[in-house]
Structure 1
Amino acid sequence: MSYLPSLPKGTLLEVFKAYPALARPLHAFAETLMRGPSPFSEGEREFIAAFVSSLNGCDYCRASHAEVASRFGVDKALVEACVNDIENSGLPERLKPVLRYCQ
């Protein structure tokens, strides 16, 4: 779960629950980002989100995005492989520059 340094005992989910009117537009944005038109498939977008969550150290987000990516046909183990070594991970070549940029 994403913990907020300015809110030592709070999580992002708790903030969303406390302020649902403010969270709705963010959720709508995320839905459009992950499911709307894109040169990347839904699985690739979920995979990228899982990769970035790994870099951020958010195990909850990494696991949830990796699980959704797997439902779109992406191997969950690929996230960990890319965190350790993008070049030799087995990742399709077209996604390597994207992950390098995310680093």
Structure 2
Amino acid sequence: MTGVVFLDPGRLRTELALQAAATPPDGAGGHTEDWQEVATVFALVEPVGAASHFAAGQAHEEATHRVTLRFREDVASGMRFLKAGRALHIVTVRDADGTGRYLVCRVREEGR
């Protein structure tokens, strides 16, 4: 079979909290954003790129990473990983090779 991803499972050693956004009502017709932890996962986090742009009178920094983890049905774009206070927002999720063994997520981290 071609295109199968071979990954040493020992490389999945970065501990991440997988979180989903909850939006409870704020009592004034709107809602608040609250993040709830769904699971703790171990993953391989690899930097992909960084960019900087100027908008609204200030500089904005953004880094992208590739996060590889064991396959889970409950991972989706719009969720985030938390790593030592850093929020990695999930942009895309795909099965690494179609075998249901690993997920590859493209994530975005905004500068502080």
Superposition TM-score tier, normalisation by shorter sequence: under 0.3
Q: Higher Cα Rg: structure 1 or 2?
A: 2
Q: Which has the higher strand share?
A: 2
TM-score (norm 1): 0.24
Of structures 1 and 2, the one with the larger relative CO (CA 8 A, separation 6+) is 2
Q: Which has the higher helix share?
A: 1
